[in-house]
Amino acid sequence: MASGSASLMWFRKGLRIHDNPALEHACKGAKHVYPVFVIDPHYMEPDPNAFSPGSTRAGLNRIQFLLESLVDLDLSLKKLGSRLLVLKGEPGELLIRCLKEWDIKKLCFEYDTDPYYQALDVKVKNYALLAGIEIFSPVSHTLFNPSDIIKKNGGRPPLSYQSFVKLAGQPPSLLLTTVHSVPPVGVLGSCKVSEVPTIKELGYVDIKQDDFSPFKGGESEALKRLKECMKNKEWVANFEKPKGNPSAFLRPATTVLSPYLKFGCLSSRYFYHHIQEIYKTVPKHTSPPVSLLGQLLWRDFFYTAAFGTPNFDRMRGNSICKQIPWKDDDKLLEAWREARTGFPWIDAIMVQLRKWGWMHHLARHSVACFLTRGDLFVHWEKGRDVFERLLIDSDWAINNGNWLWLSCSSFFYQYNRIYSPVSFGKKYDPNGDFIRHFLPVLKDMPKEYIYEPWTAPLSVQTKAKCIIGKEYPLPVVCHDSASKECRARMGEAYAMNQKLNGKVSEQDSRRKL
């Protein structure tokens, strides 16, 4: 690039200043830098037909989290002498218009493995290449480059955590690329840019402020949260999943950094580096897969598996996914989604999902197992869709990977191990405080009945002002018989998959002969 010319920094994820190699490169030698974020209406604007408030693709909590993250990024850029330029429309078309209008010589953006960005980037890159624009698109959303790991493994993604960790080794050491100033924005011409809109300006008019998740978006929040977590060195050193308490909601048992990692308000390399620094100062610490550092490796594991597996987000055409004849039962799906299963532990978690957009990992295990192979035998793709919409940390690779896991469709195959919707939660929270908080209709139910309120005598229900079947639903299934039936169906499906695989390998060996 000729020195003194203009570059465009295209923010998508990676909504941060720290450890942002694309931003650093955009600033190098440039006279003007245009920091751009494009609002895709499909992602942000209201869809009146969706099952919960929000757009076609995202629930309101995640949209609000993203807006907060953009406001924070804009403030940080202003401190560095610049600002965030917000555009609205089809991102590919708008980007190309800006490249032309602003006579851009260098285009910088973080590499993204999600199918949405893979398709979008081809369009923009093709234009930039033809126009002679330099492209810089580094891998900085994950610790490792998924392509490198796949190459090291002979062209296929590793499908077990252990083989992933062995192949991956140590992530590249952290180069602290914090930018100290950003060259000013140049002339804007006819490109219509605005400030970050408010949720109301996007068209969400009937919103009360307490409708939102307690977790606020942005790099500043992310760094504050990281600092707070890292203060307790002993906690970091002894972190051991799955030992935490999934019902702890006043003070969650894990970091709640996932939404910040999802939008790149926090760099996973920066997080990894901080954990490593703590490990150096303590006599002993836990190790992967259960340690805190091990959690970040899970993240990279799923990114690599997702990137290297065609049709990773569906059962059909996905070579690593067991083919299972799931039930197509919209009534059961709705009861699960709307927190009306009649199992308070499951329903309270689903309310937490809707209100907070975040739940503990084991709580996610409970409801995903219940919907699929544990009780309802509903397709994992349907549950995935609900999580994808409502989670504030909703992440294409991680969400699909974990649904494949929990439904015993891939990665994990012990389908006889089912979470009880009654006793699992009780083990952590015998008084049912988590249930009382998220399902206030049960707040006066005595603790003996809080996990199985349908067993309470009518006099107890009356005293608790909650008649089961009226104020709170009866269970949609009997867990004992439903889980037994699910195990049998899974057994049959596994046997069928084995036969199918046998046939495929027989055909393969005949073809080789």
Q: Is 295 in the site for ligand FAD (CB under 6 A)?
A: yes
CA 289 to CA 286: how far, in whole Å?
9
Q: Is 511 helix (H, G, I), strand (E, B) or coil?
A: helix
CA 196 to CA 194: how far, in whole Å?
7
Q: Is 254 in the site for ligand FAD (CB under 6 A)?
A: yes
Among 261, 305, 332, 466, binds ligand FAD (CB under 6 A): 261
Stretch in the footprint of ligand FAD (CB under 6 A) among 9-17, 116-124, 358-366, 442-450:
358-366
Residue 105, H or E segment: strand 104-108
Q: Is 269 in the site for ligand FAD (CB under 6 A)?
A: no
- Cβ proximity to ligand FAD: between 361 and 443 the closer is 361
Q: Is 383 helix (H, G, I), strand (E, B) or coil?
A: helix
Q: Could you tell me which residues come within 8 angstroms of residue 234 by beta carbon, excluding any fewer than 6 positions away?
A: 282
Q: Is 365 in the site for ligand FAD (CB under 6 A)?
A: yes
Helix axes 60-79, 219-231, angle to 10 degrees: 90
Binding-site size for ligand FAD (CB under 6 A) equals 28
User: Measured from the CB of residue 298, what is the shortest distance to ligand FAD in angstroms?
Assistant: 4
Closest CA to 92 of 65, 70, 67, 119: 119
Q: Is 62 in the site for ligand FAD (CB under 6 A)?
A: no
Taking a C-beta distance cutoff of 8 angstroms, is the pair 7, 257 a contact?
no
* Per-position x/- string for 429-468, each x denoting binding to ligand FAD as judged by CB under 6 A, each - no binding: ----------------------------------------
CA 137 to CA 128: how far, in whole Å?
12
Q: Is 368 in the site for ligand FAD (CB under 6 A)?
A: yes
Q: Is 299 in the site for ligand FAD (CB under 6 A)?
A: yes
Stretch in the footprint of ligand FAD (CB under 6 A) among 145-153, 280-288, 356-364, 409-417:
356-364
User: Measured from the CB of residue 472, what is the shortest distance to ligand FAD in angstroms?
Assistant: 25
Among 7, 258, 286, 309, binds ligand FAD (CB under 6 A): 258
Per-residue tokens: 86: 């917000």
CA 239 to CA 282: how far, in whole Å?
13
Peptide bond into 242 cis (omega under 30): yes
Q: Is 424 in the site for ligand FAD (CB under 6 A)?
A: no
- Cβ proximity to ligand FAD: between 258 and 341 the closer is 258
- Cβ proximity to ligand FAD: between 108 and 349 the closer is 349
Among 341, 372, 399, 409, binds ligand FAD (CB under 6 A): 399
Per-residue tokens: 275: 């954990």
DSSP 468: B
CA 364 to CA 222: how far, in whole Å?
22
The CA–CA distances, whole Å, from 239 to 223, 266, 290, 291, 402 equal 19, 20, 7, 5, 21
- Cβ proximity to ligand FAD: between 395 and 452 the closer is 395
Per-residue tokens: 215: 């977790």
Among 16, 88, 141, 364, binds ligand FAD (CB under 6 A): 364
With DSSP H G I counted as helix, E B as strand and the rest as coil, what are the percentages for the chain, rounded to 5? 50, 5, 45
- Amino acid letter for position 29: G
Find the binding residues for ligand FAD in span 82-141 (CB under 6 A).
none
Q: Could you tell me which residues come within 8 angstroms of residue 170 by beta carbon, excluding any fewer than 6 positions away?
A: none
Find the binding residues for ligand FAD in span 302-341 (CB under 6 A).
302
Among 263, 387, 411, 419, binds ligand FAD (CB under 6 A): 387
Among 199, 324, 398, 468, binds ligand FAD (CB under 6 A): 398
User: Measured from the CB of residue 336, what is the shortest distance to ligand FAD in angstroms?
Assistant: 13
User: Measured from the CB of residue 366, what is the shortest distance to ligand FAD in angstroms?
Assistant: 9
Taking a C-beta distance cutoff of 8 angstroms, is the pair 203, 45 a contact?
yes
Q: Which residues bind ligand FAD (CB under 6 A)?
A: 241, 254-258, 261-262, 295-296, 298-299, 302, 360-361, 364-365, 368, 387, 391, 393-395, 398-399, 402-403, 406
